Chains A and B, each alone.
Chain A
Amino acid sequence: ETGVTQSPTHLIKTRGQQVTLRCSSQSGHNTVSWYQQALGQGPQFIFQYYREEENGRGNFPPRFSGLQFPNYSSELNVNALELDDSALYLCASSLDGRSYNEQFFGPGTRLTVL
């Protein structure tokens, strides 16, 4: 059984640029959630995708967008990067969108915005 994988591991961008982060969900899981973890803080929910549809969104502006593919892998896109977007971006997969299901986290993508 393959766990949750994310790419790239690290990324450096400049203000105003756009970035795409990728996540492969665990085998058998159809739901992917994305979280932003600032240094020294707990993860904050960005949004969740369930069977290719957005299924809930946190308090993040529209320049944070996502996509889920038929194989349930997912992308997080961030436009017009700001310095405060520097963080660890985590994706988590689960069996389905219900909150009782354990969320399995990937190792994250460290984004630095200069």
Chain B
Amino acid sequence: GENVEQHPSTLSVQEGDSAVIKCTYSDSASNYFPWYKQELGKGPQLIIDIRSNVGEKKDQRIAVTLNKTAKHFSLHITETQPEDSAVYFCAASRGSSNTGKLIFGQGTTLQVKP
């Protein structure tokens, strides 16, 4: 069945360091991979996404890489700041379908220490 595994479940870094979160998906038909940030008491907010026709995408301090052969994708945050502290979710979706069904990972709690 469709499944997304996310690691690590918790991540603690010092301000200014980099953080990497990794996800693996099972459905080979998946071709859209968004990352969401969820702060306490709020709904998930899209921070970056990637489609299967590209291997990497950057947006300032955030980057996502995709390895379709290995069914892996990763989120990289550089120069972390305390305001990056939140729960991060990866997700996968079949872009070829007519439904926006997102399969989410279990989440990573990122703590950035000042």
Contact = CB atoms under 8 A, between A and B. Distances in A.
Contacts of A2: none
A45 B45 CA distance: 16
Nearest to A48: B99
A17 to B, nearest CB: 25
Contacts of B49: 102
Interface residues of A, number: 30
Contacts of A41: 106-107
Interface range, B side: 20 to 34
Given A41-B106, A105-B44, A107-B43, A99 B51 contact: no
B42 interface: yes
A108 B94 CA distance: 25
B104 interface: yes
Interface string A84-114: 0000001010100111111111111000000
A25 to B, nearest CB: 13
Given A48-B99, A55-B98, A97-B99, A42 B43 contact: no
23 contacts: A31-B100, A40-B106, A41-B107, A42-B6, A42-B91, A43-B104, A45-B102, A45-B103, A55-B99, A56-B97, A56-B99, A58-B101, A92-B100, A94-B100, A99-B32, A99-B99, A102-B34, A103-B34, A104-B46, A105-B36, A105-B43, A105-B44, A107-B41
Given A50-B98, A99-B98, 17 more contacts: A43-B44, A43-B104, A44-B104, A48-B101, A56-B97, A90-B44, A92-B100, A97-B100, A99-B32, A99-B100, A99-B102, A100-B32, A103-B34, A103-B102, A104-B46, A106-B43, A108-B42
Interface of A: 4, 31, 33, 35, 40-45, 48, 50, 55-56, 58, 90, 92, 94, 97-108
